[in-house]
DNA sequence: AATGAATGAGAATTCATTCAT
DNA sequence: TATGAATGAATTCTCATTCAT
C-alpha cells in the first residue's frame, strides 16, 4: 500500500518519528530501518528527504530548537515587562520544553548523544535571545556579572545536566538561578 | 614477534591507547581493531583483558577519574588551609586534568560520547570530595547557598561544557565560580 | 551486478543453498559467508531473510520436513488401501526422502548436527500422520503392540541411524520393521 | 599456585571435567578455556595431555564407553545364566549408565553432538559383546530374527532417542524390546 | 514520491592453539 | 609439568546507503 503525502508533511513525520526513537534508544542505536519501520514506510523514502543519517540528526535537533524558539519569540515580543518577569518567563519556556520530552533526558552510558546536541543547540538559542535581556539587566543594575553570557550558558548546561541526574523540581532550579545570578531570593520563583 | 608483559602494565597500556584514540576519533569510530593495531598487538589480546568494548569504555572512564581523584585526595589531605584556598585548589585540579586532555572535549555531532561520560564521573567524584568543604563554607558563612551540592554540580557540568565551546581561560572560570557562589571578586583567582 | 528476485524465490534459494552446504560440510563448518558466496550474493542479503544463522538452520530443517510431509499427505489421502499397503508406502516415502539427500547422513565426529535435527523433525511428522494408521492396525489385529507410537519412533530413529552406519538396503529395513512389528515375513517387502 | 599431579590422575580429571561441560553446554559451546577454568588450571596444560580439542572429544567418548564396557564385561563373565537373564542384565547396564548422566540426553537444536557420539560408541560396544549372546538366542530358538545385530542397533539407537524425548520408564523400554525381539511379554521385565 | 531487495564495508567477538617462561 | 599472555584467523552480525522498478 502506497500512501502519498505532501512533502512537508512527510518530512515532519520523519522528523517526529526520528526524535521519538532517538530519545528512546539513542541516536546510534536507532537505525534508518527502525525509523522507516516505525513509520510503516520504505527505507528508501527517508533518503528521499534526507541525504544521510547525519543530515537527519541535524534536522531533528534543529527542528526541536525551532519549536522552543517560536515560544521564546512570542514571549519576548510582549512589550513592557519587567526584567525579572521576562527572565522568569524565558527560564520557564526552557524547562517546559524539556519537560515535554522527558525521554530526551534519559542518557545512559550506552545511549549518549541526542541530549548533548539539543543542549548545545538550546544554549545557542538562549544566548541569541537573552543577550539583550541580560545586557539590560546589567545596565539596570539587577545583575552584577562580568560575563553574563557565559553565566547563562553555564546555567543552561548545568541545570540541564542536573535535570538528567534526577533533580527536576523547577523551584530548586529557580533558587539556583537566583543564587548564581545574585538575585534576591524569590525574585524568579514568584513568576512560576 | 611475541612480546609478553605484566598484566597490569599491559592493561594500563590498553587503557591509555584507548583513551588516546577515543579522544582523537570518538568512541564509536574507534574500533577494537584500531586499538590493537596502534598497540602493535593482536585484536584478541584486548578481549583477554576486557570482555567487550563496552567494558573497555567503562574502564577508560574509570581510570581517568581515578587519576583526578588521586590528585584531589593529595590536596585535601593537606591540613590547615583556608576555605578559599582549598576551594581554589580543587577547582584547579579539575581544570588541569581537563587541560591535559584537550581532545577529550572535542565533541562534534559525529563524535559524541567520551566527554559526557567523563563529565558525569568527574562530577560524582567532585561531590564526594567537596561535600565537606562546601558544608564548611556554608557553616562558616562564606557561602550563602540553599543547595550547595547542586550548585557545585551545575558549575562542574556548566563550565565543562563552556570549555568544550572554546572558553578555556581559567581566569574566566574562576570569576564565574566566584559570582555563582557569591564570593567576592578575586577570592579564588588569587590562588592560581 | 544487482539481481533482484521475488522474496519467496530468493528465500527458497537460500534454503536450498544452505541445505546443500550443510549436508556437504556440516552446519558448523558452513559459514554465512559460504552460503552468500555460493549464491553469488552479498552476505547481508541472507540476514535480510533470516535474522541469524540459528534461525536459518531451523528454517532449513523445517523446509526439509515440509517436503516430506507433502508427499505423505498425498499418499494418505488415497482412499481404500489396505493397512499393509499403506504402512509400506509410508515407510517408502521416508526412505526415498532420505535417499535423495545422502549427504544428510554423513555425520562424523567433526560434522554433527543437521541429521540429528532432521531426524527428530521427521519422527514427529511421522507420528502425526501414522497415529491413525497404527491405531487401525492395532484395532484390526494386525499389530499386537502396547506402545505402537513408541515403537514407531524407535524404528524411525533406529533405522535412520542404521542407515548412517551404512546399512542402506530397503529390503533389510523392511524385514526389520516386519520383525519389530510382529508382521509376517514379506508383508511389507512386497510393496516395494 | 602450581599443583602437580600424576599424569594419569590429571588426564582423568580433564576427561571428567570435559564430560561434565560437554553434557552441560554441548561440545561446541564448551571452549578449552571453560575446561581449564573449571579445573582451576592453565589452558596450556590441557594441550599437554591432548593434542587438540578433537582428540579430547574422542577421548571423552572413549572414556565414557570404557566405563560401560567394564560393567558389561563383569556381567558377561558370570557363567551359567539363562539367555533371558543375560539379555535383561545387558539392557539394564545400558540404561543405568545413561541414567547416571542425565545431562547427556539434553540435546537441543543448539546443543548437538556428544549424545550422538556416545550413542554410536555404545552401540558398537553393545554389538561387540552381544553378538555371541544374540547368536545363542537365535540358535536356541528364543529369537527368530534375520538380522539380530541390526535389530540390536535399532533398539539401542531408537530407545536412546526415545529416552531423549522424555520416555524414561525402564518398564516401557523392556516391553518395547520384548515386542521387537518377539519375546513373550514379561520375559525381560522380571529381571528388573 | 515511494518501494524494498540488494550491497558491501566494516564491526565486534570467539577460540583453538602456541610459546616463552 | 605447568603457566597464562599472546596470536590470528575465522565468523557472525550490523547498517548506512543504493538503485531498479
Does the pLDDT value for residue A74 go beyond 50?
Answer: yes
C105, pLDDT greater than 60: no
In terms of Cα–Cα distance, which of A184, A188, A181 is closest to A145? A181
CA distance C160 to C154: 10
Q: Using the predicted structure, report yes or no on whether residue A98 has a pLDDT greater than 80.
A: no
- Scan for cell 559451546, then name that residue: D29
pLDDT score for A109:
46
Based on C-alpha coordinates, what's the Rg of chain C?
Answer: 19
In a domain, A140, yes or no: yes
User: Of all nucleotides in the shown strands, which has a C1' nearest the CA of C9?
Assistant: E5
Residue with cell 513568576: A191
Q: Find where cell 590536596 sits.
A: B75
Mean pLDDT of chain B: 85
CA A150/CA A126 separation, integer angstroms: 11
Which of C95, C135, A147 minimizes the C-alpha distance to B165?
A147
> CA at B16, C1' at E15: how many angstroms apart?
26
* The pLDDT of residue C78 is above 80: no
The percentage of chain C sitting over the pLDDT mark of 90, rounded to a whole number, equals 33
Our measurement of CA A56 to C1' E1, in angstroms, reads 18
Answer for the pair A26, A64: CB distance below 8 angstroms, yes or no: no
CA A22 – CA B137 distance, rounded (Å): 42
* Contact between residue D144 and residue D137 where contact means Cβ atoms under 8 Å apart: no
Residue pLDDT, tens place only, A34-57? 999 999 999 999 999 999 999 999
Give me the pLDDT at residue B110, please: 47
Grid cell locating A5:
503525502
pLDDT of D109 reads: 47
pLDDT value, residue A17: 96
- D40 close contact with C: CB closer than 8 A: no
D123/D116 Cα distance (integer angstroms): 10
Condensed to tens digits (0 to 9), the pLDDT of residues A136-189 reads 888 888 889 999 889 988 988 888 888 877 888 888 999 999 999 988 888 887
A59 assigned to some structural domain: yes
Q: How many angstroms separate the CA atoms of C33 and A185, rounded? A: 68
Cross-chain residue pair D179–C151, CB shorter than 8 Å: yes
Q: Is A38 inside any structural domain?
A: no
In this structure, what C-alpha cell is assigned to residue B92? 584547579
Distance CA B120, CA D164 (A): 54
| Residue C42 within any structural domain of the chain | no
* DSSP SS3 for D111: strand
Q: Nine-digit cell at A85?
A: 518577569
Q: Do C109 and D172 touch (CB under 8 A)?
A: no
In window 65-124 of A, residues with CB < 7 A from nucleic chain E are none
D175 lies within 8 A of chain C by CB: yes
For residue D158, give the nearest of C54, C153, C167 by CB distance: C153
Give B80-120 pLDDT, tens digit per residue: 778 888 888 887 887 777 777 766 655 554 455 677 778 77
Phi/psi at B86 (nearest 5 deg)? -60, -50
What is the structure's pLDDT at D165?
A: 78
Alpha helices, DSSP H, located in chain A? 7-25, 32-39, 43-49, 53-77, 83-99, 114-139, 148-164, 170-181
B6: the nucleotide nearest its CA (via C1') is F5
Residue C54 domain-assigned (yes or no): no
Helix intervals (H) in chain B: 7-25, 32-39, 43-49, 53-77, 83-99, 114-139, 148-164, 170-181
CB nearest to D147's CB, from C57, C160, C176: C176
C-alpha cell, C90:
509410508
For the segment C25-48, the average pLDDT, to the nearest whole number, is 93
The three cell numbers locating residue B85: 584556598
Could you give the 3-state DSSP secondary structure of residue C111?
A: strand
Separation in Å: F13 C1' and A191 CA: 55
Residues near A83 by beta carbon (within 8 Å), at least 6 away in sequence: A133, A136, A137, A140, A142
Q: What is the pLDDT of residue B178?
A: 92
> pLDDT value at position B180?
93
Of A29-33, B152-156, C105-109, where does the model show the most confidence? A29-33
More confidently predicted of A85 and D42: D42
Q: Which three cell numbers stand for residue D59?
A: 577421548
Total length of chain A: 192
How does DSSP classify residue A190?
A: G
Q: How many domains does chain A have?
A: 1
Sign of CA dihedral B14, B20, B24, B27: positive
Q: How far, in Å, CA of A119 to CA of B160, rounded?
A: 13
Cβ distance D147 to C119 less than 8 Å, yes or no, reads: no
Distance CA A23, CA A164 (A): 13
Grid coordinates representing D87 are 539379555
Distance C70 CA to E2 C1' (A): 39
Q: What is the pLDDT of residue A91?
A: 79
Q: Is the CB of A51 under 7 A from strand E?
A: no
pLDDT < 50 regions, chain D: 109-110
pLDDT of residue D110: 47
Q: Which parts of B58-167 are beta strand (E)?
A: none
In a domain, D120, yes or no: yes
pLDDT at A101 over 80: no
Determine the Cα angle at C39 with ends C34 and C44, to 5°: 70
Angle between helices D170-181 and D83-99 (to 10 degrees): 140
Q: Which domain holds residue D66?
A: 58-191
DSSP tag of B41: S
Percent share of chain A, pLDDT over 90? 30
Distance CA D55, CA D52 (A): 5
What is the average pLDDT across C66-86? 80
Q: What are phi and psi of A123, to 5 degrees?
A: -65, -45
In a domain, C120, yes or no: yes
Residue C191's pLDDT is 66
Q: Which pLDDT belongs to residue C109? A: 46
Contacts 24+ apart (CB under 8 A), B136-139: B136/B83, B137/B83, B137/B87
Tell me the per-residue pLDDT of C118-159, one tens digit each, with 9 for 90 and over: 777 877 887 787 788 888 888 888 889 999 889 988 888 888
Report how far apart, in Å, the C-alpha atoms of D112 and of each of D25, D26, D28, D29, D86 are: 9, 6, 8, 10, 33
Residue B26 and residue B112 in contact, taking contact as beta carbons nearer than 8 Å: yes
Cβ proximity of D30 and D22 under 8 Å: yes
Please count the other Cβ atoms lying within 10 Å of the Cβ belonging to residue A23.
21
Specify which of A63-77, B130-144, D28-42, D164-178 reaches the highest per-range mean pLDDT: D28-42
Are C88 and C6 in contact by the 8 Å Cβ rule? The answer is: no
Query: B116 — contact with chain A (CB < 8 Å)?
Result: yes
The three-class DSSP label of residue D41 is coil
Write out B105-139 in H/E/C secondary structure: HCCECCECCHHHHHHHHHHHHHHHHHHHHHHHHHH
Kindly list the distances between the CA atom of residue A66 and the CA atoms of A23, A27, A51, A117, D178, in Å, as whole numbers in the listed order.
Answer: 17, 20, 21, 14, 84
CA dist list (Å): A87 to A98, B155, C145: 17, 20, 92
Q: Is the CB of A131 within 7 Å of strand E?
A: no
Task: Write the CATH number for A104.
Answer: 1.10.357
The C-alpha of B158 sits at a distance from chain A's nearest C-alpha, in angstroms, of 4
Give the residue among B163, C149, D60 at the shortest CA–CA distance from C157.
C149
Residue C51 in any domain: the answer is no
Identify the residue with better confidence: B130 or B52: B52
Q: What percent of chain B has pLDDT over 70?
A: 92
pLDDT at residue number D65: 87
Amino acid at each position: 500500500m502506497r500512501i502519498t503525502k505532501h512533502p512537508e508533511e512527510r518530512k515532519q513525520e520523519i522528523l517526529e518519528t526520528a526524535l521519538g526513537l532517538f530519545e528512546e534508544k539513542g541516536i546510534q542505536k536507532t537505525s534508518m530501518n527502525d525509523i522507516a519501520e516505525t513509520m510503516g514506510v520504505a527505507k528508501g523514502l527517508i533518503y528521499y528527504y534526507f541525504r544521510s543519517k547525519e543530515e537527519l540528526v541535524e534536522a531533528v535537533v534543529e527542528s526541536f530548537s525551532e519549536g522552543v524558539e517560536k515560544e521564546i519569540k512570542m514571549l519576548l515580543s510582549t512589550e513592557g515587562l519587567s526584567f525579572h518577569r521576562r527572565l522568569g518567563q524565558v527560564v520557564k519556556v526552557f524547562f517546559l520544553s524539556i519537560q515535554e520530552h522527558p525521554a530526551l533526558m534519559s542518557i545512559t552510558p550506552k545511549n549518549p548523544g541526542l541530549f548533548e546536541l539539543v543542549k548545545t543547540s538550546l544554549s545557542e538559542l538562549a544566548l541569541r535571545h537573552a543577550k539583550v535581556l541580560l545586557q539590560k539587566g546589567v545596565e539596570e543594575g539587577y545583575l552584577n556579572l562580568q560575563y553574563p553570557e557565559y553565566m547563562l550558558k553555564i546555567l543552561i548546561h548545568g541545570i540541564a545536566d542536573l535535570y538528567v541526574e534526577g533533580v527536576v523540581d523547577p523551584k530548586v532550579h529557580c533558587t539556583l538561578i537566583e543564587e548564581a545570578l545574585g538575585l534576591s531570593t524569590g525574585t524568579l520563583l514568584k513568576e512560576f
